[in-house]
Amino acid sequence: MLVLGLETSCDETGVALYDTDRGLLAHALHSQVDLHAVYGGVVPEIASRDHVRRLLPQVAELLASAGAERPDAIAYTAGPGLVGALMVAGGLAQGLALVWDIPVVPVHHMEAHLLAPLLEDEAPDYPFLARLVAGGHSLLVLVRGLGDYEQLGTTLDDAAGEAFDKTAKLLDLGYPGGPAIAREAVRGNPRAYDLPRPMVDRDGFDFSFSGLKTAVMLKVGEAREAGTLDASRADLAASFQAAVVDTLVRRSLKAAEHAGVDRIVVAGGVGANRLLRERLAAAFPGSVYYPRIEYCTDNGAMVALAGALRLADADPSAAVRATARWPLTDLAPPGSRPC
Ligand code: KG4
Ligand code: ZN
């Protein structure tokens, strides 16, 4: 089966073709970062309009590049995400499916993220602990199998990516904040500022970034007042990044030990962070799996793969699904109930 995957949940337009026998055949991605950078964050209406402009031509180009006339099924991200943006892929998927008379599979964006490491040759076996760190969601999930998820921990306030983005704004580093902070941190001293690691010593596996964000805000305010922000920006970025990574790593190790798993999968945009990858790999005695960087942030390949694994959940209703909030734990194994 040849599955076309469409991703438009936020500010990336992603398309991909996944063959259930041969694996990923082709994928393409357009990032809207430049459109949103001037506003310091994603503007939903601008995101939807740009997806409308780009998605169909991108699909046509993808099919042509793979020498495919049409796929056998279409998967699209149905949530969680920006509703207007989600509707672009959903609308196109249902339209094309009607014309081509093929099944449509609505995909959960975070499930697609956590399955992304399966696109690699060295894919993890089940069970594994998924350390999901994206712009809107940060979760620690025990994955016993496809659709068999137990949420062990989550952020009580900002998601990890959100914390990076907000702190980058404070530091005048622009959008998106994660890569900007990582770049700036290279020149800084991660021990220059003693920043809090919120909740790491508490019971359970939840975490929080608001105390850390407030601590950075105070330091930035002091530096601004003293006229030393330019000189201390790299140290602040490095110290902040170290605190976030430390928090994520410590919570992940504790959860993996509790769940008794020797595999951790890191996925979602913040999974592109090199320090997080290095630290977790160094600290965890088991195996750590990452998708390659281009499959960490939003992309069509993970959606096509998730769709291919969930063909049993094709939606016969011809209705467009666009769900802003959709807990991962609402999912069930393929074919067991409508996802
Ligand atoms: O998974 P993703 O592309 O979108 C969502 O599903 O939310 O994640 C985007 C987030 C943004 O907050 C961005 O700042 C962050 O991932 N990010 C990073 C890095 N690259 C992207 N955070 C830290 N370090 C990076 N290298
Ligand atoms: Zn994402």
Q: Model confidence over 204-217: pLDDT tens digits?
A: 999 899 899 999 99
Q: Which atom of ligand 1 is nearest to the CA of 110?
A: 6
Q: For position 96, what pLDDT does the model report?
A: 98
Residue nearest to atom 22 of ligand 1 (CA): 178
Q: Which atom of ligand 1 is nearest to the CA of 168?
A: 14
CA dihedral of residues 265, 270, 272, 275 (deg, nearest 10)? -90
Q: For position 338, what pLDDT does the model report?
A: 53
Residue nearest to atom 23 of ligand 1 (CA): 178
Residue nearest to atom 2 of ligand 1 (CA): 269
12 C-alpha to ligand 2 centroid (Å): 9
117 C-alpha to ligand 1 centroid (Å): 16
What average pLDDT score do residues 257-285 get?
97
Where are any strands of DSSP class E within 164-229? none
Q: For position 201, what pLDDT does the model report?
A: 82
Q: Which atom of ligand 1 is nearest to the CA of 298?
A: 3
What average pLDDT score do residues 120-140 get?
95
Q: Ligand 1 pocket test: which of 133, 137, 270, 298 has the largest number of ligand atoms within 8 Å of its C-beta?
A: 270
11 C-alpha to ligand 1 centroid (Å): 11
pLDDT at 75 over 70: yes
How, if at all, do strands 148-154 and 12-19 pair? unpaired
Pocket lining for ligand 1, CB < 6 angstroms: 10, 134-136, 161, 164-165, 176-179, 182, 268-270, 272-273, 297-298
Q: For position 332, what pLDDT does the model report?
A: 97
Note the ligand closest to the C-alpha atom of 161: 1
Q: Which atom of ligand 1 is nearest to the CA of 165?
A: 14
pLDDT-derived band at 202 (thresholds 50, 70, 90) equals: confident
Q: For position 198, what pLDDT does the model report?
A: 82
224 C-alpha to ligand 2 centroid (Å): 33
**Chain segment 299-331, per-residue pLDDT in tens:** 999 999 999 999 999 999 989 999 999 999 999
Note the ligand closest to the C-alpha atom of 245: 1
Token reading at 153? 């921990």
Token reading at 67? 């020498």
Q: For position 4, what pLDDT does the model report?
A: 99
Q: For position 178, what pLDDT does the model report?
A: 97
Instruction: Please state, as a whole number, how many other Cβ atoms lie within 10 Å of the Cβ of residue 49.
Output: 16
**Chain segment 4-54, per-residue pLDDT in tens:** 999 999 999 999 999 999 999 999 999 999 999 999 999 999 999 999 999
Q: Which atom of ligand 1 is nearest to the CA of 135?
A: 7
Q: What is the mean pLDDT of the chain?
A: 96
What percentage of the chain has pLDDT greater than the value 70?
99
Note the ligand closest to the C-alpha atom of 296: 1
pLDDT at 199 over 90: no
Q: Ligand 1 pocket test: which of 164, 184, 209 has the largest number of ligand atoms within 8 Å of its C-beta?
A: 164
What is the 3-class SS of 280-336, one letter each residue? HHHHCCCEEECCCHHHHCCCHHHHHHHHHHCHHHCCCCCCCCCCCCCCHHHCCCCCC
pLDDT at 290 over 90: yes
Note the ligand closest to the C-alpha atom of 177: 1
Q: For position 16, what pLDDT does the model report?
A: 98
Please give the order of strands across the beta sheet that includes 23-31.
Answer: 23-31, 12-19, 2-7, 73-79, 104-108
What burial letters (b/e) apply to 213-234, b meaning 16+ CB within 10 Å?
Answer: bebbeebbeebeeeeebeebbb
223 C-alpha to ligand 1 centroid (Å): 27
pLDDT-derived band at 88 (thresholds 50, 70, 90) equals: very high
What average pLDDT score do residues 222-250 get?
97
Which of 101-105, 157-161, 174-178 ranks highest by mean pLDDT? 101-105
Q: For position 337, what pLDDT does the model report?
A: 65
Q: Which atom of ligand 1 is nearest to the CA of 9?
A: 6
CA dihedral of residues 337, 304, 294, 34 (deg, nearest 10)? -100
